[in-house]
């Protein structure tokens, strides 16, 4: 069962925990998805020529401690392979990116980049690969890690990965996960699927047609995160609020927080047990005075987005299980995901 909901917001700015895109320490050793400013010159998608990326795992279910290969195939709009294009991959904590440890590598002459991943902890996790240009060119795949941690197993020293966060909440009665994430920036706010266009307009044109005396401002909208959430637990869950963060959008190395964004339509944010799913849309970037902000610009705590390029936004979605509804609301479980957006001056003048 799949449903769609566009959530209203109640914003309270808090000191949210930071989820960086660069890999975490521990059994993955944190070598993921470096150099977001790198750009290739061969894969520049537009409305008539977009191409595709495909991620394939040799095995999607592994015992903890086991490894498997994967390959990423990049083709142009005619289905021809694109060589020498940088592919960037990352994973949630629990899946180690053994090869390439840097998180990125060029495709070969057949348009293929290959690698190896390993299961470092039990659970269900996401892995994503994307191109360093065309932020909408990405694919998520799921990796299931089963069984107990073997005696003496210490992970995969030197491996990358782990930059997508904490992974799926998984236990004996199932799992809940964000299966895909993207952005809606064109004012439609009615997506029934996760959009593949990840362009975010950060500057509003004051006048679309300077040759006339009529002021014609460019259409300029709040940016919504669009998340596909799937509940495979054996009980109902209620999605409560979203936190997000992104680093470097103001030209510095600082991390900007979206704050805590409540899903106030709780009835539409309830997922029934056993394979219920929903597309939720949550406003994360605010259009204000011709600019785009992370956080609340009217309170003086928002961060204006001034840098163009590819940036990865990290999400943390909190929820409550039906069996915990009588609790005090503290130590709520959460699931994580991230999505890459292309920030820039997008011309939406008619």
DSSP class of residue 203 equals B
pLDDT of residue 174: 66
In the chain, what is the straight-line distance between the N-terminal and C-terminal CA atoms, in Å? 38
pLDDT of residue 274: 86
* Res. 329: pLDDT tops 50: yes
- Percent of the chain whose predicted confidence (pLDDT) is above 90: 29
Q: Which of 172-186, 191-205, 226-240, 293-307 has the lowest mean pLDDT?
A: 172-186
Cα gap 65→111, rounded to integer Å: 30
Find the helix or strand (DSSP H, E) in which 37 lies.
none
Task: Output the six-digit token pair for 25.
Answer: 């320490």
pLDDT of residue 46: 39
For the chain, list the domains and their CATH numbers: 1-20+173-345 (2.70.50), 23-42+50-164 (2.60.40.10)
Nearest to 227 by CA among 280, 169, 176: 280
pLDDT of residue 170: 52
pLDDT of residue 225: 92
The β-bridge partners of 175 are 170
- CA distances from residue 184 to 136, 215, 235, 312 in whole angstroms, order as listed: 12, 26, 30, 15
Q: Looking at residues 71-87, what average pLDDT do you find?
A: 88
Task: Output the six-digit token pair for 97.
Answer: 């990116």
What is the tens place of the pLDDT at every residue in 12-71?
A: 222 222 222 233 333 444 433 333 333 333 333 333 345 678 889 999 889 999 999 999
The residue that leads in pLDDT, 218 or 175, is 218
Question: CA triplet 37, 195, 247: central angle to 5 degrees?
Answer: 30
Nearest to 103 by CA among 18, 197, 21, 167: 21
Nearest to 33 by CA among 91, 73, 118: 91
Q: Looking at residues 193-206, what average pLDDT do you find?
A: 88
The residue that leads in pLDDT, 148 or 116, is 116
What is the tens place of the pLDDT at every residue in 242-297?
A: 999 888 999 988 889 998 898 855 446 889 988 898 899 999 999 999 999 998 88
Q: How confident is the model at residue 137 (pLDDT cuts 50, 70, 90)?
A: low
- Full-model pTM: 0.57
Q: What are phi and psi of 219, to 5 degrees?
A: -60, 135
Q: Looking at residues 301-325, what average pLDDT do you find?
A: 88
Nearest to 261 by CA among 234, 246, 289, 283: 283
Cα gap 257→242, rounded to integer Å: 11
Q: What is the overall mean pLDDT for the chain?
A: 78
């Amino acid at each position: 069962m799949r449903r769609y909901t566009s959530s209203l917001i109640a914003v309270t700015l808090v000191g949210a925990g930071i989820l960086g895109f660069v890999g975490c320490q521990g059994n993955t050793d944190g070598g993921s998805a470096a150099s977001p400013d790198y750009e290739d010159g061969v894969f520049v998608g537009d409305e008539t020529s977009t191409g595709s990326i495909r991620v394939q795992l040799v095995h999607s279910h592994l015992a903890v401690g086991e490894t498997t290969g994967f390959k990423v195939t990049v083709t142009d709009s005619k289905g021809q392979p694109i060589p020498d294009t940088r592919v960037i991959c990352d994973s949630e904590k629990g899946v180690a990116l053994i090869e390439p440890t840097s998180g990125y590598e060029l495709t070969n002459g057949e348009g293929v980049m290959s690698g190896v991943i390993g299961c470092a902890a039990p659970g269900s996790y996401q892995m994503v690969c994307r191109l360093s240009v065309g932020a909408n060119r990405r694919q998520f795949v799921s990796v299931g890690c089963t069984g107990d941690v073997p005696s003496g197993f210490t992970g995969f020293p030197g491996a990358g990965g782990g930059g997508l966060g904490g992974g799926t909440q998984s236990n004996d009665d199932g799992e809940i996960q964000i299966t895909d994430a993207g952005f809606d920036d064109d004012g439609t706010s009615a997506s029934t699927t996760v959009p593949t266009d990840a362009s975010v307009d950060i500057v509003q044109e004051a006048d679309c047609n300077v040759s006339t005396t009529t002021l014609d401002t460019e259409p300029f909208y709040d940016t919504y995160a669009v998340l596909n959430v799937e509940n495979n637990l054996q009980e109902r869950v209620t999605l409560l609020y979203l936190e997000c963060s992104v680093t470097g959008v103001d030209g510095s190395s600082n991390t900007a927080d979206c704050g805590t964004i409540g899903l106030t339509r709780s009835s539409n944010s309830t997922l029934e047990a056993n394979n219920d799913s929903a597309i939720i849309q949550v406003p994360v970037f605010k259009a204000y005075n011709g600019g785009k902000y992370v956080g609340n610009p009217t309170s003086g705590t928002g961060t204006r987005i001034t840098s163009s390029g590819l940036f990865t936004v990290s999400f943390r979605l909190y929820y409550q299980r039906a069996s915990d509804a009588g609790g005090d609301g503290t130590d709520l479980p959460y699931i994580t995901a991230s999505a890459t957006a292309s920030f820039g001056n997008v011309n939406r003048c008619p």
